[in-house]
Amino acid sequence: MEMEFKELKEAIDQVELVDAHAHNIVSLDSSFPFIGTFSEATGDALSFAPHSLSFKRNLREIAQLYGTEVSLEAIEKHRQDTGLHAFTSKCFKEAGISALLIDDGLKLDKKHDIEWHKDFVPFVGRVLRIETLAEQILDEKISSSWTIDSFTKVFVQRLSSLVPEIVALKTVAAYRSGLDIDTHVSKEVAENGLVEVLQAGKPVRIGNKGLIDYILSLTLELAERHDLPLQIHTGFGDRDLDLRLANPLHLRTLLEDKRFVKCRIVLLHASYPFSKEASYLCSVYPQVYLDFGLAVPKLSVHGMVSSVKELLDLAPTKKVMFSTDGYASPETYYLGAKKAREVIFLVLRDACASSDLSLNEAIDAAKDIFSRNAIAFYKLDLEVNSSSPQSSISLAPQMNEPDVQEDSSSFVRIIWVDTSGQQRCRAVQTHRFNISVKKSGIGLTHASMGMPSFTDGPAEQSKLTGVGEIRLVPDLSTKRTVPWTKQESMVLADMLLKPGEAWDYCPRETLRRVAKVLKDEFDLVMNAGFENEFYLLKNVVREGKEEYVPFDFGPYCSTSSYDAASPLFHEIVPALESLNITVEQFHAESGKGQFEISLGHTVASHAADNLVYTREVIRSVARKHGLLATFVPKYDLCDIGSGSHVHLSLWKNGENVFPASDKSSAHGMSTIGEEFMAGVLFHLPSVLAVIAPLPNSYDRLQPNTWSGAFQCWGKENREAALRTASPPGAPDGLVTNFEIKSCDGASNPHLSLAIIMAAGIDGLRRHLQLPEPIDTNPADVAATLKRLPESLSEAVEALEKDKVLHELLGQKLLVAITGVRKAEVEYYSTNPDACKQLIHRY
């Protein structure tokens, strides 16, 4: 048994460490007292620190490291004689730390910047403390000039601009107002809190609970958007903290909020003395992880061991991480690392002795705790050589200039969708992406958002030209491995004027902006799910000419047609699932060679992103099989058209609030559901200019084609433009979502959902009501209904007159959209046969 434990101890002693939470080191002439590195006490209480168990132990450890007498005076003299750089190098070398994540928001006199620390550790990442950022912003302007809206705008812009520079976010809400966070705090409460904070004068210190809760809720939204984890201070700290409010159990409301279930959260400091509570939360919430820095080495040996054991009582070893919580002096890093190795050995040794773990499982757990968990959780560009007995850590290959063929032959596609709905990309080598592009993006001409479907130059009336450039900046949360060629990745991009400042024409930012209005004004989130109809065509030569003809001629839901296309679906569906896109069903459609794939619903911004990737997958897999997949609205004027029907629902606090609460509703919808849908129906003529963007789209929008040609709605009426749906499992008569039939595959997904949402917002603001539903074929009662625009020019005219949508989407963007649409109308009216080439663009 002793030999087994020796093997465990050797493995723990040799593993290189990822220190996932620490702070800046200060210069030797800092006013921060060296004794303060041994205790959380301050002021007069610090005079008692030398009599604590941890102080006496840690003092001996440092004296042994430096070869001095065991006294504070001897150690301080050694530090002065040796010099900061020299003893910092010794501390980090002995600690065996290969990567370091620094929260630089802790106020320390004469602290060194993050760059300085890179002299001692191969990888240093920055953790952004959100309260510090907010306070810096509020200190920049005259107090009376701030409103909660102006603060929110600057905070979002500033944080977003810093995303390329940081690996995580952090909150010290526990120090300010406690962890009982109200994630649904109203803007009014936050505004009052802002006023209170500003009235206290400068420098600003945010302590108002309403404002803290608002900032943290806003941060969680940004964390999910940018795929950043959030560190939360829990448990003990200095005397500024009310320990009663630092119990992580107070976080239950936040953890239960379905908006943030995908946000990765780590509870710092072992939550001591609430380690059992933290262990429980980690075991039942998949997004919760634990970090035991500060508890180790600040507690007694018994306290450290018992605290870590309590963490592992319930928490998976895959979710517990090491950090030193080092600060001010390099000795804190050394002590944190040294004692962590000793404590983890004692804990895992006892786990083996009690048969909780085998030896190999204990060694594996140690490697997870000390490095692998943090690398995965923070998505660090590091590699662990697990085959090495020392489990060494190094920068991942892509972080360096390429010197191997694998790097120089792997690419990243940076994708955007333009105003006319065409999906475009630029590709860069992976090493260049990691070195510069993922942070700074690539340049793109203003003209790119003014291009129509028939040429790669800007439409004159779009007011966009070849003069001017924006940055196409990757949204790293959307970066995925290309399923059909493993040597490449793809990522969706935002259009920025400069870091943190979105371009007015950016489709993804437009959707985010409108979604924020829906959230701020009505506390609602719109979910969307798309049905993708497309044709599969094959290339044939007839009379010496190449042409594209249907891949198959079977009818709707034909088993033989599906069988013929089955090999494609066996690649398409797994590819989509690898991209985390839910596929609900797929089948042959009514057209010759036409098929449909229906996607699961999700938050609107994700639904739009998913649709972009879905189109990429379908086209690429078809091309691999020698076929052409096209989403063009009307491929064959004599056959059925292809739509991109979208199902919409409204959610609050993770619950679908579109259905009525009981059967008393006349239409099975809640009041907000009806008002939102009524807004969409009211503005539908204008909305068509975005969701049906080509003249060819209106060849599809005809009566008796299940595409919605009249401005009406119906219950389960597939000829109505809007159809309410009650899928299996929904209570009798209650509606869970509604479908817009008019949307097609040439539309820009983000702009489409943005304008639909904007129309719904107007319905909510004005409390619009739906007319009576149409329970028959609308064509049979056409005389009593209003026909939707029969041409793109009619839809554009409606949009130009719709000032409500101009306000919500932005005047500049609307000018570009209508300018491009007018160019489409003019070109195809004089070149009608040119629409045959659209199969190569959509």
Query: Is 665:732 a contact under the CB 8 Å cutoff?
Result: no
The CA distance from 451 to 60, in Å, is 71
Cβ atoms within 10 A of the Cβ of 826, count? Answer: 15
Mean pLDDT (the chain) is 90
How many Cα atoms are found within 13 Å in the side-chain-facing hemisphere of 656? Answer: 17
Distance CA(750)–CA(646), nearest Å, equals 12
Task: Enter the DSSP assignment of 425.
Answer: E
614, 643 in Cβ contact below 8 A? no
Query: Residue 401: what pLDDT?
Result: 29
DSSP-derived letter for residue 834 is G
pLDDT at 391: 53
User: What is the C-alpha to C-alpha distance for residues 760 and 527, in angstroms, rounded to an integer?
Assistant: 13
In the predicted model, residues of the chain with pLDDT beneath 50 are: 386-390, 396-406
pLDDT of residue 403: 30
SS3 of 463-519: the string is: CCCCCCEEEEEECHHHCEECCCCCCEEEEEEEEEEECCEECCCCHHHHHHHHHHHHH
Put simply, whether the predicted model's pTM sits higher than 0.85 gets the answer no
552-603: pLDDT as tens digits: 998 899 998 899 999 999 999 999 988 889 899 999 898 898 999 999 998 8
- pLDDT the model gives residue 30: 92
CB-based burial label for 29 (10 Å; 0-12, 13-18, 19+): exposed
Pairing of strands 627-630, 17-22: unpaired
Under a CB-based contact definition with an 8 Å cutoff, are residues 508 and 492 in contact?
A: yes
* Model pLDDT for residues 128-153, shown as the tens digit of each residue: 999 999 999 999 887 778 999 999 99
Q: How far is CA 563 from the centre of its chain?
A: 38
What is the model's pLDDT at position 373?
Answer: 94
3-state secondary structure 83-104: CHHHHHHHHHHHHCEEEEEEEC
Give the per-residue pLDDT at 492. 94
Coil, strand or helix at 636? coil
- Determine the Cα–Cα distance for residues 367 and 373; give it in Å rounded to an integer: 8
Q: How far apart are CA 557 and CA 580, in angstroms?
A: 26
Q: Tell me the one-letter amino acid at 116.
A: W
CA distance 190 to 147: 10
Instruction: State whether residue 159 is helix, strand or coil.
Output: helix
HEC profile for 759-806? HHHHHHHHCCCCCCCCCCCHHHHHHHCCECCCCHHHHHHHHHHCHHHH
